[in-house]
Amino acid sequence: MHAGFAIYTPIGTVVHTGDFKIDYTPIDGQKINFGRLAEIGENGVMLLMSDSTNAERKGFTKSESSIGEVLDELYAHCQKRIVVATFASNVHRVQQIINSSVKYGRKVAICGRSMVKMIETAVELGYMEIPKNIIIDIDLIKSYPDESLTIITTGSQGEPMSALTRMAAGEHKKVMITPNDLVIISANPIPGNEKFVSKVIDDLMQIGAEVVYSSLADIHVSGHGCQEEQKLMLSLIKPKYFMPVHGEYRQLIAHAETAEKIGIPPENIFIMKNGKVLEIGENDAKITGTVPAGKVMVDGLGIGDVGNIVLKDRQHLSQDGLIIVVLAINGSTGEVVSGPEIISRGFVYIRESENLMEEMKQALKNKLGILQEGHITDWAVIKLTVKDTLRDFLLQRNRRNPMVLPIILEV
């Protein structure tokens, strides 16, 4: 079990598993304490919140120790430099990569700030054992032959600014991928990241590097329990109420179905959404309302002061540009005294699009003339007419939809 905690409240114990799987042969030898879990369950648990990531998968998750055998096979006959990308949070995976590097006489360089920090902290706290003189500075990798070097890096999910992505694009300042590299991606794509990971693999292969990933070898095992482990957790904890957490909605549903099979009544299972409030009393539990939840936008020094509308406007400007229309109108008659003058930014270059600008002005004059004949002087109507006229004209003319800002001056 990777993480978890129990909270003791006046109405009963609340248990949150965190990410967990049941590994009978863990790398550090610290096996899950079934006795303690059973003791908590026997004392009575009001609510269990349990990891649902692998709720759709039957059976058990493979042991982390199985990765060491696969790594050894890859290292045994490799005469290339080995670059391994994995999660910076996976202490045991990094330990096995270092173990294989030591076994086959390779120095290890660490790339990626989160990876460097994790290893430093894990060694300091005693969670990792690294022989002296194995770790070298990333700046010294050119001093060692490829066949005696391993680089451990972040970026297994193809994150745009991660170290591996920059290596694949040829933009990393310290590591240049070559055809003499074996790149091992020791992770499965998180749902939604498949496109990014695929792009990184393609870029690495175009350089000529050999790439090994989960579809080609058993180079990754999940850190989350499957259905049988979830059943065991539910059976040991024996909660009165159950809330599946940490997963897509379909996985929460699957975990809820597993809980029903264990014997938890459907009315005692709560599938929540962000912001929903679950209120638990001595005799019942119910969803009582909502609280604000969701993304908080950070813009420069401001936090939370940029909302969806502002971001939508920025996206609109970045894609289609801006047109400003300036008009001077007689306030009493609605007659156009001056203009319309058109200013373009990020839409077209005015000096090279004089004909288009004239056509736009003429279309506006025609519409404004109709408003004048109808004695319409309301600014809101005039502004809306300007926007609609240009939008329809430009969509028909060149399939573009720039942001239009009318500015009306009353004279």
Is 224 among the catalytic positions?
yes
Gap between the Cα atoms of 81 and 65, Å rounded? 23
Indicate whether this model's pTM tops 0.75.
no
Q: Which two tokens stand for residue 135?
A: 């770790």
Give, as one character, the DSSP assignment of residue 189.
Answer: P
CB of 165 within 8 A of CB of 98? no
Q: In whole angstroms, how far apart are CA 20 and each of 2, 4, 251, 262, 353?
A: 5, 8, 15, 19, 62
Q: In whole angstroms, how far apart are CA 339 and each of 141, 374, 381, 385, 404?
A: 66, 19, 17, 15, 16
- Looking at residue 358, its pLDDT comes to 81
Helices assigned H by DSSP within 66-214: 66-76, 91-103, 113-125, 163-168, 194-207
- Looking at residue 50, its pLDDT comes to 96
| Residue-range domain boundaries for the chain | 5-61+223-290, 66-212, 303-410
Q: What share of the chain is helix, strand, coil (3-state, %, to 5)?
A: 40, 20, 40
Q: Per the residue annotation, which of 92, 172, 220, 224 is the catalytic one?
A: 224
Gap between the Cα atoms of 340 and 342, Å rounded? 6
Gap between the Cα atoms of 403 and 394, Å rounded? 11
- Looking at residue 3, its pLDDT comes to 59
Architecture in CATH of 66-212:
3-Layer(aba) Sandwich (3.40)
Which residues of the chain fall below pLDDT 50? Answer: 1
Q: Per the residue annotation, which of 51, 181, 246, 255 is the catalytic one?
A: 51
The 3-state DSSP class for residue 60 equals coil
CB of 66 within 8 A of CB of 262? no
Give, as one character, the DSSP assignment of residue 163.
Answer: H
CATH fold for the domain made of 303-410:
Ubiquitin-like (UB roll) (3.10.20)
Gap between the Cα atoms of 252 and 233, Å rounded? 15
pLDDT in tens, 279-312: 988 888 999 888 888 776 666 555 555 666 766 7
Gap between the Cα atoms of 177 and 117, Å rounded? 24
CATH superfamily of 5-61+223-290: Ribonuclease Z/Hydroxyacylglutathione hydrolase-like (3.60.15.10)
Is 2 among the catalytic positions?
no
Gap between the Cα atoms of 408 and 338, Å rounded? 10
- Looking at residue 272, its pLDDT comes to 93
Gap between the Cα atoms of 265 and 333, Å rounded? 74
- Looking at residue 316, its pLDDT comes to 67
